[in-house]
Amino acid sequence: MKEQRPDHDQAEPEEDLGVTLMLRWQAGDEAAFTELVEAYSGRVFSLLTRFLGPVAQREDLVQDVFMRVLRAKERYTPTARFSTWIYRITFNLATNHRERAGLRRHLSLDQGVGEDRTAFAELVPDETTLSPEEALNQGDVVAAVRAAIERLPETQRMALILARYDELPYAEIAVVLDSSEKAIKSLVHRARENLRVLLAPLLEEEVA
Amino acid sequence: MNACLLFRSRLEAALIGELHGAPVLWHDHLVGCSACRELFEAEEALDHLLACLPEPELPLALAKRVVRRLQREQHATSKLDDALDAALAGNDVPAGLADRVLAGLAGERSAPAGSELSGVTLDDLLGQVPAPEIPSGLSARVLANLEPVEVAASTSPFAGASPRPLPFFRFGLAAAASVLAMFVGYRLWQPAPELPNGTPMVAENTPEADRLAPEQPDPELLASLDLLEEWDLLVADTPADLDVVLGSLDDVETELLLLDSYVTSTGSATGNGAGGDGAASRNDEEEG
């Protein structure tokens, strides 16, 4: 039985800076849109960088995100936090970008790790990017962690990034990923398990 | 075991910042549970590694560039929208075009000089429509296709009729002839009625026999029967011949009356005579 989604749309949107700016912009204050871009473009860019890696199209994607905001001007209603809404747009555009760029790998493996074979398939590194092991051999801890995050499945990766770096509560992550809070908890838990596998050598050193 | 489950659920909450200062509270459990201690240390180490990932560097003046590009795109989009609106609103249509079109179609040559439709009438326009090309030899092919139909018609009993008689008329004549033939055949071939017991057989060549002998068919009757073989009358060429055909209908009625009186007067004993054979043979011919 599918779990009912939590009522996280009642997140006091009237206190939200983004919501305030959107409402001002809807009321005819064109400067509010500029303020909106200044307030949120950096967060969108950071999210895209963590999710996609340092790809060249990030700035174009930021522009696409705000183009969606522009088009939604008339029909926008503040039912959720503005950051939740704009992160959802960002996630959709980023996954579309990955599909278009052919970055998504469809690997069929006979054996996986545990029950999450899809996750394991995406954990396998490809030839185009540095693997966590290679980064570790080069002594680049940051590159190893970044490579390990990039190996995670899209939903696990986004859930982990939003929970760990943007400190969004599970309820809001559930809105971004169009899922339930319980599913988000499971996603984050599996993401951390996968990272522990990928970064095992580093973790041993860290514990020692 | 319950303590371990409780610890792990709280650990997850602590990892996302929902429980602050939790490790202090868990100290007693971690001291006594090595599995949970290992898990805690691994999570702590992982969190440490994730924390070492630096904040992404933002491009300089990112927001300004984004705003500028959005404004450019919006401007281009609005120009395109304006062009579309203008086209849809019909602003590019020359003034008075509809009036000139109507004037031209009505044949009025009073349209303003220089307009494209001045002096153009409907007849002119229709005259410019090219005549359809007729395939060469079309009529010959049509006639050739019609020939088999004509040949088939000539083999019918009604061949040569032009114009051909009406179908119901031909059908009526054929039905009447068939009824007549069947009636005559039935009456002529009817078996002789049995004589009452004790009735002496009539000897031939006696006056009584002469009295009872069948009479020879009336020549007029035979002539009427021969009318049935005159198919040319049934397919008369002209309306004048139609009167002849209608006259033959009267002959048929006369023939029926004569036959009836003949049979009544002669009795069925004479059914096997020469006249009966002749009628039967004619009947066969008609049915054939």
CB contact under 8 A, A42 and B62: yes
Cβ(B189)–Cβ(B280) below 8 Å:
yes
Helices (H) and strands (E) in chain A, counts: 11, 0
> Mean pLDDT lowest for which of A17-31, A63-77, A153-167, B221-235?
B221-235
Highest mean pLDDT among A122-131, A175-184, B202-211, B223-232: A175-184
Tell me the CA distances in angstroms from B98 to B88, B94, B105, B106, B117, one per residue in order.
17, 9, 11, 12, 10
Cβ(A126)–Cβ(A105) below 8 Å:
yes
The topology under which CATH files domain A1-104 is Rna Polymerase Sigma Factor; Chain: A (1.10.1740)
pLDDT in tens, A151-190: 999 999 999 999 989 989 999 999 999 999 999 989 998 9
- Sequence-separated (6 or more) residues with CB below 8 Å from residue A159: A173, A177, A184, A187, A188, A191
Return the sign of the alpha-carbon dihedral for residues A51, A57, A63, A64.
negative
CA atoms within 13 A on the CB side of B82: 6
Tell me the CA distances in angstroms from A159 to A48, A51, A156, one per residue in order.
13, 10, 5
Return the sign of the alpha-carbon dihedral for residues A169, A175, A177, A182.
positive
Supply the pLDDT for residue B269: 43
Supply the pLDDT for residue A69: 94
Does B10 touch chain A if contact means CB atoms closer than 8 Å? no
Does A145 touch chain B if contact means CB atoms closer than 8 Å? yes
Does B198 touch chain A if contact means CB atoms closer than 8 Å? no
Q: In this complex, how many residue pairs, one in chain A and one in chain B, have their CB atoms less than 8 Å apart? A: 88
pLDDT at B34 over 50: yes
Tell me the CA distances in angstroms from A90 to A7, A43, A59, A171, B225, one per residue in order.
22, 10, 12, 18, 108
Buried (b) or exposed (e) across B92-110, using 16+ Cβ within 10 A?
eeeeeeeebeebbeeeeee
Does B134 touch chain A if contact means CB atoms closer than 8 Å? no
Helix or strand or coil: residue B120?
Answer: coil
Provide the 8-state DSSP code for A180: -
Min Cα–Cα distance to chain B from A102, Å: 24
The strand ranges marked E within chain A are: none
Q: Give mean pLDDT, residues B263-288.
A: 45
- Correct CATH for A105-208 of 1.10.10.10, 1.10.3720.10, 3.40.50.880, 3.40.50.740: 1.10.10.10
> Mean pLDDT lowest for which of B22-31, B129-138, B202-211, B261-270?
B202-211
Higher pLDDT, B266 or B222: B222
Q: Residue ranges of the domains in chain A? A: 1-104, 105-208
Cβ(B30)–Cβ(B40) below 8 Å:
yes
Tell me the CA distances in angstroms from B204 to B193, B200, B209, B212, B269, one per residue in order.
19, 12, 5, 10, 14
User: What ipTM, to 2 d.p.?
Assistant: 0.75
Confidence (pTM): 0.52
Supply the pLDDT for residue B211: 53
Higher pLDDT, B184 or B126: B184
pLDDT band at B248 (very low <50, low <70, confident <90, very high): low
The whole-angstrom separation of Cα B101 and Cα B107 is: 10
pLDDT at B196 over 60: no
Tell me the CA distances in angstroms from B202 to B1, B47, B197, B198, B283, one per residue in order.
140, 146, 14, 12, 31
pLDDT band at A7 (very low <50, low <70, confident <90, very high): very low
pLDDT at B157 over 60: no
pLDDT at B249 over 60: no
How many residues does this entry show for chain A?
208
Per CB-CB distance under 8 Å, the chain A contacts of B63 are 34, 37-38, 41-42
Search chain B and give the residue with CA nearest A51. Answer: B56
Min Cα–Cα distance to chain B from A123, Å: 17
pLDDT in tens, B52-72: 888 888 888 889 999 898 888
> A43, A51, A66, A149: which to substitute to probe chain B, counting the most B Cβ within 10 Å?
A66
State the DSSP H helix or E strand holding residue B18, giving kind and residue range, or none if neither.
Answer: none
Q: Which residue in the block uniquely carries the two structure tokens 């039935």?
A: B186
Higher pLDDT, B4 or A175: A175
Domain A105-208 in the same topology as domain A1-104: no
Cβ(B231)–Cβ(B161) below 8 Å:
no
Question: Residue B163, preceding bond cis, omega within 30 degrees?
Answer: yes
pLDDT in tens, A17-60: 999 999 999 999 999 999 999 999 999 999 999 999 888 889 99
Per CB-CB distance under 8 Å, the chain A contacts of B37 are none
The whole-angstrom separation of Cα A143 and Cα A132 is: 7
